[in-house]
Each structure stands twice: as C-alpha cells, then as structure tokens.
Chain A
Amino acid sequence: MPGKLKAKIVAGRHLPVMDRASDLTDAFVEVKFGNTTFKTDVFPKSLNPQWNSEWFKFEVDDEDLQDEPLQITVLDHDTYSANDAIGKVYIDIDPLLYSEAASVISGWFPIYDTIHGIRGEINVLVKVELFNDLNRFRQSSCGVKFFCTTSIPKGYRAAIVHGFVEELVVNEDPEYQWIDRIRTPRASNEARQRLIFLMSGELQRKIGLKVLEMGGNAVVGYLQCFDLEGESGLVVRAIGTACTLEKLSSGSSTHTHPNTAPASNACNSPSKDGKEPVFGEDLPSSSGPPTPFRALPTSSSSPPPFSPSKPCSRQSSSSDTDLSLTPKTGMGSGSMGKDAGPLKTLLRQQTQTALEQREFPFFTLTSFPSGFLLHVGGVVSARSVKLLDRIHNPDEPETRDAWWEEIRQEIKSHAKALGCHAVVGYSENTNICEEVCILSASGTAAILNPRYMREGCLDIAGSDHRFEDPSPSSCGFCHIPYDELNMPFPAQLTYCFHCRRQKVPDVLFTTIDLPSDAAIAGKGCFIQARLCRLKKKAQGEVNATAISNLLPFMEYELHTQLMNKLKLRSMNALFGLSIQISVGENMLLGLASATGVYLTALPAPGGIQIAGKTPGDLNNEQHIMNIQKRINDTIAKNKELYEVNPPELTEEVVGSPIPEPRHRSRLFRSHSESSDELSELDLSHGKKDAFVLEVDDTDAVEDIHSLLTDAPPPKGFHSCNTETMPGIYNWTSALQMFTSVRVLRLSNANLTNQALNKIFTDLCENLLKSFYFKLRSMVPCCLSHLNFSVAVPEEELIQVAVTAVAMTFDKDQTQEKPAEKPIMKGCSEGEEQLQFPLELCADSSSVNSQSSSRISGVPESSSLSTRAASVDYGSFADRCSTWLELLRLKAHTIRRGSVKTSRRTQSLAHSVSSLEHSSPITEGRSRLLRSSRSFGGSSVSVVKMTPLSFLPGTRIVKYLGIINMFFIRETTSLREEGGVSGFLHSFVAEVFAMVRAHVAALGGNAVVSYSMKDCVLMENPNKNQCQCLINVSGDAVIYIRETDLEAIASTVGLSSTNSDGAT
C-alpha cells in the first residue's frame, strides 16, 4: 500500500443556476480515484456552496497514483430525476509525487463541462502521503521529474545525460467504439478526455521506468503527442532525454560541485559493470578506429556506404529500445591534440564509443551547456507515409513502434553520413488524413563532447584542457564534423572566420537554438517558407504513393525558398528549423519556419542573381533587370534592418550586395528531376558566388515575386522562432503569450498551385501582420518562439495555429553589448544558476561569464571567400519514401585578397539574451501588476505563460511539475455562441484559464515551455455544431523577480532544499 491520496472539497463559487424555479443550485461533489468514489453532502440552494468536506482518503498503489487523475464531478441534486452534472475537474497528482516539487495542491479550479465550458469554480485540497517502497520490480516510477523545457532546467545541473527515451501507448478511441452509437456526444467526449488523461499518465510512468533503469532521475525535453488515428485507435507517444539532474544549491559556490561517484569514470577506465548480457553483441564497441562515414545509404554519388559495426542490437520489443544505457567507454581524459586531423579522429572515437552503445543517440534538447556541442553537421530528417488501415493489430503498439524504429534508424544513418554520432534538437510528429499517416522525424546531426555522456561535471581536469581545445565555443560548433576529403555531399568549405584553423560550410541549417556563445552579427529574423501542392484525390495505396512522390519535391522547394530568403536577408545560418508537411484530401501544405542569423564564423553570403533564359529579348531583359534591382535593394535594406554588418564587408566588398558576375554559381530551379542539372551545376564551379535564379517560366517569376512579398516586421518589432532572439539580450519583463488560429476556406475549387501558394503565403503573412498590429503597444518588442502549425481539417480548408510570446526589450541598450560584468566566476550570484559551471572558451581571457549572458571577444579574420551554394535534395526511394534533408553545398572557394587582419570585433560579439537584464522601470510595472491584483477584495494570482524556458527579469526557483492537459469542447448551438470564431475564442480562453488555475493550485506563478500541441477543430455549420480538441503542455514553476531576489539574497535558501536523488 504505498500511497495515500487525500482530497478535501472546500467550496464552490459562481456555480450556474441549475434550478430555474429558484434560480439556485443544490450542489454536491463526487470525488473519484480509480474505482473508489466519495460524495459530499448536498449544499442546498446556493450558487456559492461551502461543503467543507472531510478528508476523503484513497489508499492506492503508486502505480495508480501515476496513471490516474483525480476526478472531481460537481452535480446538482435532484430529488425526482437523475442528478445533473454541472461539470468536472481532472487533477493530475503527479506533481505531488516528486519529493521536491509541490507538497499540496490547493486552489480554485474551473469546473469544466464539454458542452458548456467553464461553469463556476471549486476549491479543492489534495495531498499525497507516499510510503517508501523498496520493491525492485515495481511498476511505478514515482520521483522521476519531467520537464518540457528543452534545455537543462534552471537551477539544475546535468550530472549525466543518459539519452533518448521513448514510449508509445495505444488504445481504442472511445469515439469509434460501438457504444458511441448509443451514448451522447457529451458522454463520449468525457470518456475520451478521461482516457487520454489515463494514457498520458501511464505513458509518463513507463518513460519514468526507463529513466530509472538507465540510472537517471529526470526527463528533459519531454515531448508528448496524440495521434487521433480514428478507427485504428488513439495513440499517445512521447520522447525525451533522460538525465541525471542535480539541484544547484543557491548558496554553494560553483567551484565546489560535488564530484560525484563516477569521477573515476572520467579517466581511462571504461566501466563496464553496468553492462547487461543482452548487449553482448556490441561489447568492444570502442576498439575499432572509427572511420567517418560519408555515405548516405540512399545517395548514389558518394563512395560506398561504410558499414559500421552494428552498435546496438535491435531489440525485439521496439518500444523498449533504450534500456540500460549506462555509458561505458574507453574515453581518454578529454585532452586533445592541436592538430585537427588526429583530434577529430580522437573526438569521433570518444564520442562514438560513448554514443554508439545507444540504439538511438538522440537528444530532444535544443540548447546545451557550452562545451557540450562540439560540431554540428546539419539537419537530418526522415518522413514515411503509412496506411493506418493496414495495421494488423491496431490495439497493440508493435506496428507503430516498428514504424518509428524504422524512421529513427534512418535518422541515425543520415547523421552518420554527416560524420556525426548524435542527433540533437530531435523531434517527431505525425500528420493524419483519413487512413494516410505521415510520420516525420528531424533533428540536427552533431558531435557531442563525450565527457558529458558520462560525467557532466567538467571540473575534473580543470580548465587546462580547455585551452587545448582547438575549437573555441564561439565558432567550434560551426566546424564541419565530416572529413573534408571525403565529404558526404559536395559542399563549399572555407576556413573558419574565427579561428582560421578549421573548415566551415558556407551555410548551416539546424533545428537547435543558437548556442549562447556563438558569435553573430546583427540580429536574427524569422524566416518562413510556404508551399502548397495540389494532389489528386485518391484512396489507400494509390493515395499514399502519390503523397510519397510529392514529398521530396516539396522538401526541395521549401529548402530552395529558405535558402533564397536567407540570402535575401544576407544571413548564413538557420536555427530552430522545423518543417511541417500537412496532408489534405486534395492538397499538401508545407511550412518551414526558422530563425535566420549571420554567424561570423561562416563566410558572408553572396547575393542573388537573376538570369533570364532567353537573352536578347529586350522586354524580358528589362524585366529581369528590374527584378534584380528589387532584390538588391531588398538585400541592402535587410542588411540595415537586421544590422548585419560584419566588418569584413566594409573593408573589402564595400557593402555591395551585388555579386560580381564572374563569381557565381547557379542554383537551378527545376520542377522535374534534379539529377539532370547536377552536371551543369558542377560546370558552374569556380565562376559564381551568388545564387542564380533562373527565370525560365512564369512559375519562376511567381516564386521570385513571392520571395519579395515577405514584409519585414514593422519598426520596433523583431521575430524569431527560437528560444532567444539572436542579437537582443536586454529583455524587460513585460510579456504576452498568445494563441491565434485562422482558418481559410478556399472557395474556388479549381485553383492552381501558384494561386494556392499565394493564398497560403498571404495567410501566414497576414497573421504576422495582425500580431504586429495587436501588440503594437508593446514596442520595442520581439515575438519569440513563433510556432506555426498548419492543418487541412477538411477539403478546401486551411488552418494555421500560432502560439508565441511577445516580449519587450530595452531599445536603448540593443546597440551596446551587455557591459562586461566585473563579477568573476565563482563569486557571482548568477553563477549558481549555471547548469554547467565551467564554460570558458579558448578566448577565455576576454570572457566573463555570467550565466547565460556571456561575451566572447572573438578574433575576426577578414579573408573573405566567396562561395556558391546550391540546393539539391537527397534521393528518395520507394513508396515509403523517406527522405534525407541534406543541403548539397556546391562549393568552391575564391580567395579575395590575403589580408589577414585579426581584431576584436566588439560590436559583433553579442551574447544572447540574459534573464538577468531587466530595466527597473518595467520591473516596477510588473510589480504593480502583480501586487495590486487584490482588486475588489478577493484576488486571483497572476500566472504568466510563455513558450520559452525562461521569464525575463526573473529567476525560476522551483519546478513544480509538468502540466499536460487535454480538453474537448463541443457545441450544438454554434451560431448562438458567436460562430466558430466565438466558440474557439472562448475555448482557448478557457484552456488558458484551466492551465493557470492548475499552476496556481500547485503554488506556481508561471508556466514555461508552454506549447499547444494540438488544436483539432471539426465544424458542421449546417447542423449548428462544432467540436474542438486542444492539447497543451508546459512546466509549472515558481519564479522570483531578480529585483526581489537581490533583496532577500542570502537570507532565503530559495526553497532549494537540496533534496536531490528523488529516485
């Protein structure tokens, strides 16, 4: 009997009138957990009942505690007929199961009904008493902490990053059960809500078990999704990164990190003790000198694929892939030679051995402690089209497990082809249309620092070897991980513009956040590629094949668009890239979003050159010149707008964005097979440095026009889809999280691809314009973490849902870099927050790091090389076409001048936003907002919400647990509720309200890493009906404003009770 759950129903308020005669309600409450139900007395004739019940006690297994939610149903007592349900509250008690999280849930919860929405509130108290259970074979995983945040949570330090965990649970969808024919939609929706609560509880528990088996105590970057497959079932799946987290005590100095037990591992002893016999197959994985793998299995142009010694046995049950991954390697102390070649080999060796025992060396994290990420290869992705009606055993997870397994293997091999052993910023998602399901996975191939694989604490060898590290953190991640002589794809390499020692590509695409210590020029900007493709209506296999065939073309075009837009903004890298492909009956939508930035380590991008195919035609020539001029003007304007002024340009290129004709390579747009062009592309080598857009048909003209239609954000606004906006670091505390949904009905059934593209592009652009307008009072402000998701809910309908946060910043300071803090490491308060204590780069002399704000004075070299780039898409295979996203970087280098001026570029060495910065003015404002909440006598505490992992101007002092909620709302009086817009508006507001209430009841005052995973809207205006499902998640936290923090600085221990080891 390992746990006792206690609940007390205190009172209700604002209840709806249930008895028309008296205008009052006779309310009572049912409290249910598992199969046990308690009832309160009826509190007659009141809309504000005071039940003040006894403590209802449930004695349950901790397994149930994890799986089940506490169900509270408020009813109206009726003597003669059945009692009417007023509404329900589901309380996830998981946060009470961690020893250091919330101890009690207490507060007002909105009473929710799937038909009427929120109907009053109920005040509830919930507690859990856990008994120690030493049963080794337990099924529960109480105590494993979950974080949605995709970085190491603030206030923690990752002792060990264990790696990828995944799980998948399947059930029959209540909406498709036979009983659904006879029960009301309301009953069916309630059954669905309840089931999903149960399933996600179970899923979390199972993931927790895997984490415990791996020896971890937390899951970071937890990403849970629902697949409403319809007839074949309801799938809840999740991925995450298992870690062993240690809480940083605020008082302790950063020097004194407990060098925990595995310290011995840090040196040469490969501790194999954790090894389990199951894995006998891959025992001596560290022995063979690993060769970089250059071959894409699917690519033909590369040398034959090197077949690595199979690193990990594929297990029979693929849902249990990652058991027992205790890192065991024969890595060295981590010191490296100065020579690039051997170093790389050594590195690879170490990393590989550390990672290769894992079936999937994937990490869902998107930002890392500095030093963790050594090199980044590029984006890897895979897609697969599946037919749901072909699942043999729909109730069992095996088939889906196998599908994902397949995709992950593909990702892994792509990463290998890029010479990388890990995939970071990894995510998975699905898109379902009728019986067709597209599974997608993407991430960024990378080489990680092997030390973190086993021992996160870096202070073993002190900082000595850091100086031996040839890759300063400001540019190291840009250096190519693959072998220069055997590149996996043609790429144009130059020497790194920072260290001059290693090669870098000319463009870098990633799915992760900009590393905090990366050196950039100017500010970042939001870049989006949008694409619509018509598809013939079809069924089953034919449909799946048609989609499979379209996918690579879509990805190719999206890439081309992204690349062009990037060039147009005079930038050379994309972060946070996410590509979404959505299927409808008769079309496919593709949406790629990313944040562009100018990395000073990478060469400056060339311009875009327009070429006509039919020279001689004067009219055309004139036209092309006009376009060219517009493009050049746009580039010049963008440079100014985003303050992209790398110093080399002023010295050499004299700011001209117009590439000289002799340095150009060509990008061929092709609507047919791209293979034909390959030879032509190669021919152009050595002549061009800019993108050439060939205007050969009307499509091309359209596309160029659409390039230029992207309006830059109005003055005072910036936008990005990453955690932090590159180039802005002085956030003030004002913040507004929002969700916006727009659905467009295409009235004309006979649209062309171009017309569709235009409509789709306008839809996205208009949404952005709307945001700017609505949030204009916040300028200067930045829309961060812009997360677009597209769907085709029905034929003729396009739905775009966006969640983002607007944050204000102090304009006056944007030009300066943050003042170098005189505080040296180890003595600053901010240091305590460091997840990883030591993060000096090679230039550490100039680095004073304070938490996430660090400055690196980086030597810049001015040797400018011009480059050519060309996008090609990797091969795609058979009908289950998965596709590798690889940028084919057509390359050559022309050295222009050999001036090597090395200098400190003050203006460029930006550090990325620090939460510590906040202006006193807005602090005051927010305090006002917070403190004066007690308007009108009673008070509702303010709960901030943000999709980011931090709140500017504050420090998160406690993580209270994960919020993962699923709601269904339906109506049969759509018109009366203000149409679909009115219906959804109130539903979204209700979802926010319920999230806030749950956070407040846990004692929290904010949700970070908030995201809306699903928003599925089904309408039937003719019947005056509508239904919507929303799934949201995030981390409930307590934050303290920096200013308050200083006041209470040393006195309060920040409730960090050092209660680690919750396992």
Chain B
Amino acid sequence: MAVELDVFVGNTIIMSEEVYQLWLDGYTVNDAVKVRMDGGALDEFEANADVVQSDTMDQYRTFQMCERLLHSPTKLANQLLFQIPPHRQATLIERYYAFDDGFVREVLGKKLSKGTKKDLDDISAKTGVMLKSCRRQFDNFKRVFKVVEELKGPLVENIRQHFLLSDKLARDYAAIVFFANNRFETGKRKLQYLTFQDLAFCAGQLINNWTVGAVDNMVEDMDVDLDKEFLQELKELKVLITDKDLLDQHKSLVCTALRGKTKAFNEMEANFKNLSRGLVNIATKLTNTKDVRDFFIDLVEKVSCPENFLSFHFVVWDRYMGVIKSCIFKMYHD
C-alpha cells in the first residue's frame, strides 16, 4: 500500500515561510520533514509524520512551480497561475533573492561564468551552504547581472524595478554586480577579514563617486564601469608626492583636520609621506585593468599594512579614508 498521488491545491497559495526557507536552503523533502518534526511540527494539530511529509511535498511542488516566475519577479505580479496575496509575493521574491553573506563573500569579484559555477561545490563545502542553495544564489547573481548589464539609468534603481527587491537588497545586488563587472580581487588571504557588508559599503562609495553615473546618469553601464576619464585624471595626483610643496600643504591640511580626532594621529603624522605615497600610487595606477582588480589588495597592502592599520578600529579607518578622500577630491577639483 503506497500513496501514489497526493496533492493539495488552494485557490490562494498556501505556504509556510518556514518550509520556504528550508526549500531555499536546499533541503530535500525528507530532510525538511525531519527538521520540521524536530522543530515541533508534530505537536501542532495532532500531526503525524505522514501529514508533515505530505504538506512539505505540496509546498515544495508549489515552490518549484513558482521558481520559473521568480526568475522574472515582475511576472509574478501579473501571472494567472497562482493567486498570491501581494505581501506573500514580496516575501517570496525577497527570500528567493536573499543570499548568505558567507557564500557571496566567496564569489564576490569572480567572473559569473560557468567555470565559477563548477567550483560551487568547493564553496559549498567551505561555507557550509548547501550546494543547491549555492546554485540558486549564484544563478540569482548571474541573472541580475545579465539583466542590468545593458540597462540605462541608476544601477540600484534598475535592480529594484526589475526584481522588485527591497532597497537594502537592491544595494547589495548592485555591489555584487559592480564587483563582478570590475572583477575586483577579494579572495586573497589579506582581505579575508573583510565581510561582504564592508565591501558592499565600499562598492556603494565607488558607484556613487567613481563611475560614469556619478557625472552622467543616462548612459549604459553608468553605474557599473568606473569613469575612465576620471581614472585618467587621477594620474595627475602624482604631484602630491613628487612636488614637495604640495606634499607639505597636503600634510598640513590633513593634520589640521584630524588633530585630536584619532589616537593614531601621531603615528599618522609621522608616516604621512609613506601613507600618502601609497594612496597616490594606487590612484595613479587605476587606468590599468589589472590594477583595478587589485585595488582592494593594494589598499590593504600599501596603505593599511605598513602602518599597522589592521589594529585600528574599522570606524577609525573609515573616518580616516573619508577625510583623505574628501581632501583628495577637494584638491583635485582645485
């Protein structure tokens, strides 16, 4: 005696967020049933294992049928197959496009190609994220990348509109797309201490200030590619280390601005020349694609490490760089 067929279909979609998460996480039906039963599903409504199994199967099937629609979330709103209340639609999409920070950190800056996809099992083993889930996340990155690649207008806005994501998630995706497009190297050992959110923040800054879109907001790829002209112009910053007068002027401006605001002030003041040289060197080399890729490594190696900046609290580092940045900008514009 075996159940040959067992379906349950509601006029309005029937789903539990718990099961959806299990599905997204890549659990098989049997594992999901186990998790649910361990989680106390049995205590509810006199359920038994069969009932939980049947319910899980039904939901898994529903999710599988929805998956096609989730690939282009705008369709989800005007498809007719499932009647899904709007708040459920939002949950379905947001959860589907959510990712594990651990996983994305591994993929960040890598080419979203078939080659990378082949390595997903390693990443899965390393991060503890199930392979199925890795694939979904990777495909999501790739899908978003492909769609917004050719679009005009602001990156974050494009992602939000095409994938109906929340602002936060859209920004994260923008960072992922930006990293993937510029192939920033983030996998080196020295950068391991940086979380995805750290890098996403950096990406946000770069997108806002260094891309074409920062100047002109109606070109293709405006938020994805760095502003070539700007990078070219950065070369001229070399004067900051070659010209003694300018170096001193720069130093005094920075020191005035930072005096008493950082514990590392003395150290910084003492090493200003080295520091500045590191930064300016990075800036002037950004016309090289290879150097763009190494941007973050260079920042760590040539700026942070010599000065033992790792010991600095991140906030301090951020504040310092912010000032440096504004200074550089100010002077550049001058």
Which residues of B lie under 8 Å from residue A937 when comparing CB positions?
Answer: 74, 77
Report if B9 contacts A (CB, 8 A): yes
Give Cα A946 to B64, complex, Å.
26
Give Cα A553 to B65, complex, Å.
46
Report if A880 contacts B (CB, 8 A): no
Q: Given A759-B1, A773-B47, decide whether A985 and B9 contact each other with a Cβ distance below 8 A.
A: yes
Report if B40 contacts A (CB, 8 A): no
Which residues of B lie under 8 Å from residue A932 when comparing CB positions?
Answer: 86-87
Give Cα A738 to B10, complex, Å.
4
Asked if residues A770 and B55 are in contact (CB atoms below 8 Å), the reply is yes
Report if A978 contacts B (CB, 8 A): yes
Which residues of B lie under 8 Å from residue A935 when comparing CB positions?
Answer: 77, 86, 89-90, 164
Indicate which residue in B4, B46, B74 contacts A744 across the interface (CB closer than 8 Å).
Answer: B4
The residue of chain B having its C-beta at the shortest distance from the C-beta of A1007 within the complex is B11
Asked if residues B51 and A714 are in contact (CB atoms below 8 Å), the reply is no
Report if B242 contacts A (CB, 8 A): no
Report if B259 contacts A (CB, 8 A): no
The residue of chain A having its C-beta at the shortest distance from the C-beta of B5 within the complex is A743
Q: 0/1 per residue, A1-44, Cβ < 8 Å to B?
A: 00000000000011000000000000000000000000000000
Indicate which residue in A121, A747, A772 contacts B80 across the interface (CB closer than 8 Å).
Answer: A121
Which residues of A lie under 8 Å from residue B79 when comparing CB positions?
Answer: 14, 940
Report if B311 contacts A (CB, 8 A): no
Which residues of B lie under 8 Å from residue A611 when comparing CB positions?
Answer: none
Indicate which residue in A799, A929, A936, A942 contacts B76 across the interface (CB closer than 8 Å).
Answer: A936
Indicate which residue in A118, A742, A944 contacts B6 across the interface (CB closer than 8 Å).
Answer: A742
Report if B154 contacts A (CB, 8 A): no
Indicate which residue in B1, B46, B50, B75 contacts A748 across the interface (CB closer than 8 Å).
Answer: B1
Number of B residues, CB within 8 Å of A: 47
Report if B2 contacts A (CB, 8 A): yes
Asked if residues B5 and A742 are in contact (CB atoms below 8 Å), the reply is yes
Which residues of A lie under 8 Å from residue B52 when comparing CB positions?
Answer: 773
Q: 0/1 per residue, A737-762, Cβ < 8 Å to B?
A: 11111111111100000000001000
Which residues of A lie under 8 Å from residue B77 when comparing CB positions?
Answer: 934-940
Asked if residues A986 and B46 are in contact (CB atoms below 8 Å), the reply is no
The residue of chain A having its C-beta at the shortest distance from the C-beta of B89 within the complex is A935
The residue of chain A having its C-beta at the shortest distance from the C-beta of B10 within the complex is A738
From residue 398 to 423 of chain A, which have CB atoms closer than 8 A to chain B? none
Report if B113 contacts A (CB, 8 A): no
The majority secondary structure among interface residues of chain A is mixed
Which residues of B lie under 8 Å from residue A997 when comparing CB positions?
Answer: 80
Which residues of B lie under 8 Å from residue A110 when comparing CB positions?
Answer: 80-81
Asked if residues B51 and A766 are in contact (CB atoms below 8 Å), the reply is yes
Q: Given A937-B77, A981-B57, decide whether A989 and B65 contact each other with a Cβ distance below 8 A.
A: yes
What distance in Å separates the Cβ of A87 from its nearest Cβ neighbour in chain B? 13
The residue of chain A having its C-beta at the shortest distance from the C-beta of B41 within the complex is A773
Asked if residues B14 and A774 are in contact (CB atoms below 8 Å), the reply is yes
What distance in Å separates the Cβ of A11 from its nearest Cβ neighbour in chain B? 12
Q: Given A766-B50, A773-B44, A932-B87, decide whether A980 and B5 contact each other with a Cβ distance below 8 A.
A: yes
Q: 0/1 per residue, A706-748, Cβ < 8 Å to B?
A: 0000010010010000000000000000001111111111111
Q: Given A736-B14, A770-B54, A935-B90, decide whether A747 and B1 contact each other with a Cβ distance below 8 A.
A: yes
Asked if residues B78 and A743 are in contact (CB atoms below 8 Å), the reply is no
Q: 0/1 per residue, B51-80, Cβ < 8 Å to A?
A: 110110110011011000000011111111
Report if A187 contacts B (CB, 8 A): no
Indicate which residue in B12, B64, B89 contacts A978 across the interface (CB closer than 8 Å).
Answer: B64
Report if B125 contacts A (CB, 8 A): no
Asked if residues A743 and B47 are in contact (CB atoms below 8 Å), the reply is no
The residue of chain A having its C-beta at the shortest distance from the C-beta of B85 within the complex is A929
Q: Given A935-B77, A989-B81, decide whether A745 and B1 contact each other with a Cβ distance below 8 A.
A: yes
Asked if residues B82 and A989 are in contact (CB atoms below 8 Å), the reply is yes
From residue 968 to 1021 of chain A, which have CB atoms closer than 8 A to chain B? 978-982, 984-986, 988-990, 992-993, 996-997, 1017
Report if A769 contacts B (CB, 8 A): yes
Give Cα A937 to B73, complex, Å.
11
Asked if residues A738 and B8 are in contact (CB atoms below 8 Å), the reply is yes
Q: Given A766-B50, A936-B73, decide whether A990 and B81 contact each other with a Cβ distance below 8 A.
A: yes
Give Cα A986 to B82, complex, Å.
10
Indicate which residue in A770, A772, A984 contacts B5 across the interface (CB closer than 8 Å).
Answer: A984
Report if A776 contacts B (CB, 8 A): yes
Q: 0/1 per residue, B224-247, Cβ < 8 Å to A?
A: 000000000000000000000000
Give Cα A1016 to B11, complex, Å.
20
Report if A426 contacts B (CB, 8 A): no
Asked if residues A936 and B74 are in contact (CB atoms below 8 Å), the reply is yes
What distance in Å separates the Cβ of A117 from its nearest Cβ neighbour in chain B? 9
Q: 0/1 per residue, B138-167, Cβ < 8 Å to A?
A: 000000000000000000000000001000
From residue 1 to 33 of chain B, which have CB atoms closer than 8 A to chain A? 1-12, 14, 16
Indicate which residue in B7, B58, B81 contacts A993 across the interface (CB closer than 8 Å).
Answer: B81
Give Cα A311 to B4, complex, Å.
52
From residue 911 to 970 of chain A, which have CB atoms closer than 8 A to chain B? 928-929, 932-940, 942-945
Report if A108 contacts B (CB, 8 A): yes
Report if A797 contacts B (CB, 8 A): yes
Asked if residues B65 and A985 are in contact (CB atoms below 8 Å), the reply is yes
Q: Given A770-B54, A797-B4, A936-B89, decide whether A982 and B12 contact each other with a Cβ distance below 8 A.
A: no
Asked if residues A746 and B8 are in contact (CB atoms below 8 Å), the reply is no
Asked if residues A736 and B9 are in contact (CB atoms below 8 Å), the reply is no
Q: Given A748-B1, A981-B7, A985-B7, decide whether A993 and B80 contact each other with a Cβ distance below 8 A.
A: yes
What distance in Å separates the Cβ of A68 from its nearest Cβ neighbour in chain B? 25
Give Cα A1043 to B142, complex, Å.
48
Give Cα A742 to B5, complex, Å.
5
Which residues of A lie under 8 Å from residue B8 when comparing CB positions?
Answer: 738-740, 770-771, 774
Asked if residues A741 and B7 are in contact (CB atoms below 8 Å), the reply is yes
Which residues of B lie under 8 Å from residue A978 when comparing CB positions?
Answer: 61, 64
Which residues of B lie under 8 Å from residue A744 when comparing CB positions?
Answer: 1-4
Report if B329 contacts A (CB, 8 A): no
What distance in Å separates the Cβ of B306 from its nearest Cβ neighbour in chain A? 51
Report if B193 contacts A (CB, 8 A): no
Give Cα A110 to B80, complex, Å.
7
Which residues of B lie under 8 Å from residue A944 when comparing CB positions?
Answer: 11
Give Cα A940 to B82, complex, Å.
10
Report if B48 contacts A (CB, 8 A): yes
Give Cα A985 to B3, complex, Å.
15
The residue of chain B having its C-beta at the shortest distance from the C-beta of A933 within the complex is B86
The residue of chain A having its C-beta at the shortest distance from the C-beta of B81 within the complex is A993
The residue of chain B having its C-beta at the shortest distance from the C-beta of A801 within the complex is B7
Give Cα A981 to B58, complex, Å.
9
Give Cα A745 to B5, complex, Å.
9
Give Cα A945 to B55, complex, Å.
22
Give Cα A714 to B82, complex, Å.
29
Asked if residues B58 and A985 are in contact (CB atoms below 8 Å), the reply is yes
Which residues of A lie under 8 Å from residue B10 when comparing CB positions?
Answer: 736-738
Report if B83 contacts A (CB, 8 A): yes
Q: Given A744-B3, A747-B1, A993-B80, decide whether A738 and B9 contact each other with a Cβ distance below 8 A.
A: yes
Which residues of B lie under 8 Å from residue A993 when comparing CB positions?
Answer: 80-83
The residue of chain A having its C-beta at the shortest distance from the C-beta of B3 within the complex is A744
What distance in Å separates the Cβ of A747 from its nearest Cβ neighbour in chain B? 5
Q: Given A14-B79, A773-B47, A936-B76, decide whether A992 and B3 contact each other with a Cβ distance below 8 A.
A: no
Give Cα A760 to B73, complex, Å.
43
Q: Which residues of A contact B (CB under 8 A)?
A: 13-14, 108, 110, 118, 121, 711, 714, 717, 736-748, 759, 766, 769-777, 797, 799, 928-929, 932-940, 942-945, 978-982, 984-986, 988-990, 992-993, 996-997, 1017
User: Can you show 16 pairs from A to B with CB atoms below 8 A apart?
Assistant: A108-B78, A736-B11, A736-B12, A742-B6, A770-B51, A774-B55, A777-B16, A934-B86, A936-B74, A936-B164, A937-B74, A979-B5, A988-B7, A992-B83, A996-B11, A996-B83
Supply 8 further A-B pairs (C-beta < 8 A) apart from A741-B6, A741-B7, A769-B47.
A737-B10, A739-B8, A742-B5, A773-B45, A932-B87, A934-B77, A935-B89, A939-B77
Kindly list the 6 A-B residue pairs having the minimum CB-CB distance in the complex, ordered from nearest: A936-B77, A935-B86, A743-B5, A938-B78, A743-B4, A740-B8
